[in-house]
Amino acid sequence: MSQIQTPAVVLGTQALGEADLMVVLLTADLGKVRTAAKNARNSKRRFAGGLPAGALGQATVSRRREGAMWRLDGFASIAEVSGLGRDLTRFAYVNYLCELTDVLVVEPEPDPRSFAALAEAVGETLRSAPRPAVMRRYELRLLDSLGLLPRLDACCVCGAATGIGSELAFAAGRGGALCVVHGVGAPRVPAATLALAIALHQDPEPEAAWEAATSAPKEVRRALRDLVQSVLRPHLRRPLRSLEFLAALTPSAPVAIDR
């Protein structure tokens, strides 16, 4: 039996009988894996902090043979998740990050970039007040790691500059930003929105990128949200329940999804 310890984020769980759980993990070393956690609902030693979506820590997994289902032997949390259920906005953000990952990431394809992006976003949301900018940065980085991110910084057809002006041509279905020649008749987005997307995606200092996005004008933030959702939507195999929950929170927490 091979046993591996790997950094992991819990994406979700499903009951297996009275005491066991199937736990879906995104790991740094194995990619996305489905694991069986024996007696997970009763064990206070192996799963001391529980296994809610968004639990971030070190997973110990094993399997008897190649191709068999992994077994989750233990999970040591490195972030406090016990209060998630008492903070609906934080709970909704974390569940969106995890559900989006679960729907888009195909198993088992290890991608350290996807894991690092998710760990960054979940860790920040657990530590600080939830911010839409954290979600936007994660969405962009996840799309990039999966090869689904449209080109943002130049024409996706010829590589030329996108031109100047307050609005630029952008068509996700054609590959992204477009120059003056290839963008004839294409939809327009605010130039500030593309600039913000590029900064969020590329800035090596996440805090600086989050602060810049949070302080951007509301209409720019909304346009960025709509642009990213338009890119994500064709790749979703089903509607995201967590996104519906976020929308339901909007009347009492309008900043939750930049509305």
Q: Which of 53, 82, 111 is the last residue of a domain?
A: 82
CATH number of the domain within which 69 lies: 2.40.50.140
Do 37 and 119 sit in the same domain of this protein? Answer: no
Do 74 and 96 share a domain, yes or no?
A: no
Across the chain, mean pLDDT equals: 91
Q: Exposed, middle or buried by CB within 10 Å (0-12, 13-18, 19+), for 118?
A: buried
| Structural domain boundaries, residue 11 | 1-82
Structure tokens at 75: 């999970």
Q: Which of 38, 54, 82 is the last residue of a domain?
A: 82
Cα separation values, 127 from 79, 81, 209, 222, Å: 8, 10, 17, 25
157 and 216 assigned to the same domain: yes
Q: Is the domain of 48 the same as that of 165?
A: no
| Residues 155, 57 share a domain | no
Q: How many domains does the chain have?
A: 2
123 with 78, same domain: the answer is: no
Helices (H), the chain: 88-104, 112-127, 132-145, 191-202, 206-214, 218-232, 241-249
pLDDT digits (tens, 9 = 90+) for 103-162: 999 877 889 999 999 999 999 999 999 999 999 999 999 999 999 999 999 999 999 999
> Looking at 82, 98, 128, which one is the last position of a domain?
82
Q: Are residues 96 and 42 in the same domain?
A: no
Q: Residues 95, 181: one domain?
A: yes
- For the CA atoms of 110, 134, 85, 72, the dihedral, rounded to the nearest 10 degrees, stands at 10
* pLDDT, tens only, 5-57: 999 999 999 998 888 999 999 999 999 999 999 988 777 778 877 899 999 99
Residues 12 and 42 in one domain: yes
